[in-house]
Chain A
Amino acid sequence: MKLEDIKVCILRIEGTNCETESYQAFERLGAKPEMVHLKQLTGQDVRESEKRSITDYQILMIPGGFSSGDYVRAGAIFAARMKTKLAAPMEEFIREGRAVLGVCNGFQVLVEMGFLPGIDGIMSPVPQAVLSTNDSSRFECRPTLLKYENNYNCIFTQKIKSGQVLLIPSAHAEGKLLFPHDRAEQIYRQLEDNDQIVFRYVDPNGEYAGYPWNPNGSPHNIAGICNPSGNVMGMMPHPERVFHRYTHPDWTRGFGSEIGDGRAIFESVLDHISKKF
């Protein structure tokens, strides 16, 4: 399908942030994004003309933020509200090979909904992971360095070079990706075998490092993962905040390019969808 026909649902509820940057990232690349409130998909308290169906879109993006005040657990209320009405349509959406991207709070929502890591099928009835409180017990907000570690299973990263280090900012208080304590190492190995690990936090030498390079204490430095089919990706750092080079903190030092490090993620998924559908 043509790039200009690709419809992107930028999903929001109270407390979503960076939806404008996400919208603009897709729009600037020629696709048709639309900001959609969760109630428009569930059909609650909205006019008939405002109702939308998830099947109208090829890409669903859940942006960052502090949905529902991050009460209970980050992303838990957003996820529970989606689960009641949208679990089956979303499962179908993913089965058809459409793309789902969760950034920051969106990653937390996908994990709480059971779509990530997705090792026992598209959606697990109970969460298989959690994005837990940062080791520092604080909100960590700063540029982070991510090493691209996927072997091209993930449809969001096809345009990134293997081993490339990207500067993408993090801003979260709950970003430590944990699996059930007794099976954690087994799951990490499974993620590696399935090529589900997409990004890891590194230091300026590209080496795995602890705090502050790893802002949350995530075991194995994991910053982003995808499902086994590669069409659902969640990551804590915000690629939409570095679409342009001039939003990098070091842009005045001159790097001869106007392209920000986050742009490749949006380009990759649009390229994949335009070829697939």
Chain B
Amino acid sequence: MFVADIRIKLKKGVADPEGKNTAKALELLGFSEVAEVKTSKFFSIHLDTHDEAAAKAQVEKICLALLANPVINDYSYDIKKVA
């Protein structure tokens, strides 16, 4: 079994209204040192396979089929073997 920790980020230059709003809220809460907030999505996916290469290929497919829209998203992931 492998577990893939996948992070879906907004590409550079794409507006992040959620991040901006969070930054504003933090400022209102008195966190004056907060300069910028960026949001991203995190998915942890367990894959029932014993082959790391197959797991990696599967994760690539998953990212392109559903998790990321290449117009605004970049994706990255770590794959670890678990018992």
Contact = CB atoms under 8 A, between A and B. Distances in A.
Nearest to B22: A137
A142 B60 CA distance: 40
B79 interface: no
A201 to B, nearest CB: 17
B71 A180 contact: yes
A79 to B, nearest CB: 9
B74 to A, nearest CB: 12
B66 interface: yes
A7 B55 CA distance: 44
Interface in B46-83: 64-67, 69-72
B30 interface: no
Name the residue in B21, B64, B66 with the highest tally of chain A Cβ atoms < 10 Å from its Cβ: B66
Contacts of B65: 80, 83
B14 A132 contact: yes
Given A80-B65, A126-B64, A181-B11, A136 B70 contact: no
B15 interface: yes
Contact of B72 (A80, A130, A136): A130
A82 to B, nearest CB: 12
A134 interface: yes
Given A134-B17, A217-B15, 6 more contacts: A83-B65, A126-B64, A132-B14, A135-B17, A181-B12, A181-B13
Interface of B: 11-15, 17-18, 20-21, 41, 64-67, 69-72
In the complex, the 5 A-B pairs of residues with the closest C-beta atoms, listed nearest first: A137-B17, A137-B21, A130-B71, A80-B66, A181-B13
